Every structure is written in C-alpha cells, then in structure tokens.
Amino acid sequence: MIKKSDIVKNGIIKNNPTFRLVLGTCPTLAVTTSVMNGISMGLATTFVLICSNIIISLLRNIIPDKVRIPAYILLIATFVIVVEMVLRAFLPDIYDALGLFISLIVVNCIILGRAESFASANTVLDSALDAVGIGAGFTFALMLMGFVRELLGAGSIFSWSIPVLSDCAMTIFILPAGGFFAYGFLMVIFNQLVKKAEERKKQKAEKGAER
C-alpha cells in the first residue's frame, strides 16, 4: 500500500502534471507571462482539483459507470464557476488577467484525468491528498514558468522591474514562441534532476541490499 506522504510527493515530482505527464499545456503556455498569473492559475486549478476529487471519490459508488464522464464534467464545471465568481468579486485584477482561461479549467485534462484514474477508484482521503500533490506540482510548474518568462521577457519579478535586466529584456519569452522555449528547457532540466535523483536512490538501495 502506498504511503500517504508518497501520494503527495508523487504529484509534485514523479507525476508532475506539467513536466512529467505533459498535461494542462494550454494554460501552462498561455497564462505564464508573469509569476503572479502562474501562481493564480495554479491555485485556482488546485482548488477545483481538490473539490472535484473529494466529491467524485465520495460519489464513486453512486454515479453509474455509463454516465460517469458527464457527471464528472458537471461537478468540475460547478467548482470552476465557484472559483470564477470568487475571483471576479474579490480579486478582479487576477480575474481580468486570467480571463477566459479560468473557464477553460473545466476542460483541463489534469482534473478529468485525476477524477477518472484516481478519485473514482480510491478513498476520499487518498483522493484529496492526490489532488493536493498534483495541484502543488502544477502550481510549482506554472510559477517556475512565470518566473523564467517574466524575468527574461520583461526584466521584472512580480511586476517589480529589475534595473539592468529590464533594459535588456528578451521580449520573445513573453510571446507564445518563448513560452515553448521556456517550457522545453524547464522540462529537460526537471526531468534530468528527477532522473539523477532516482538513480542515486536506486544505487543507495542496491548498496544497502549488498550489505
């Protein structure tokens, strides 16, 4: 049986939705023109993911198998609209910045993917932990993308202009093409680090077994 802490850890590293599973690419490329946008999008998605995973896990024995996808979509759409309403009322700047991409969380394959592959087959607690892990992994990836793109593309961080960098900013990084560049480079770096960490872990385990 998988440990509870491993469920969360897997979502952030081993099954990172952005860098490992390459899911949710549309918001990853579209909204990460700044760190703030990346964090906001990540948190909005995490909220929807946690709520939908919990409810779908609760209803897993009630929802008929044949209509599970429309039922999941209905539940996910409800939580997305809740997020949209809250952002519009209390955080209008973020609501304006994310625009259409808040509504598009409904069709984010990370959420439907976790509902279908995890929440519909696991307990409520495990499903909630999985959502926390995957959500944290997605938020971390979006934040990293936003950081790199805003730093290189606009020469600023959290809209704070960095004196020397802002004068030689490479605009391409905040344009769609730069999004692909940043995504590709970060994916390579992330996967290399994970691979090395896994190899090190494996070597340690082998040494332990030899002794």
The contact set with another protein (CB under 8 A) reads 33-34, 37, 59, 62-64, 66-67, 70-71, 74-75, 77-78, 81-82, 85-86, 88-90, 92-93, 96-97, 99-100, 150, 153-156, 159, 169, 171, 174-175
Choice between 70 and 184, CB closer to another protein: 70
If we measure between CA atoms, which residue out of 122, 137, 115, 140 comes closest to residue 51?
115
Q: What is the C-alpha to C-alpha distance for residues 46 and 24, in angstroms, rounded to an integer?
A: 12
**H/E element, 28:** helix 25-30
Beta carbons of 119 and 41 less than 8 angstroms apart:
no
Alpha-carbon distance of 139 to 180, in angstroms, equals 18
134 versus 154: smaller Cβ distance to another protein = 154
Task: Provide the minimum distance between the beta carbon of 17 and another protein in the complex, in angstroms, as a whole number.
Answer: 24
Q: Which is nearer to another protein, 71 or 187 (CB)?
A: 71
Q: How far is the CB of 179 from another protein (least distance, A)?
A: 11
E strand spans, 31-126:
none
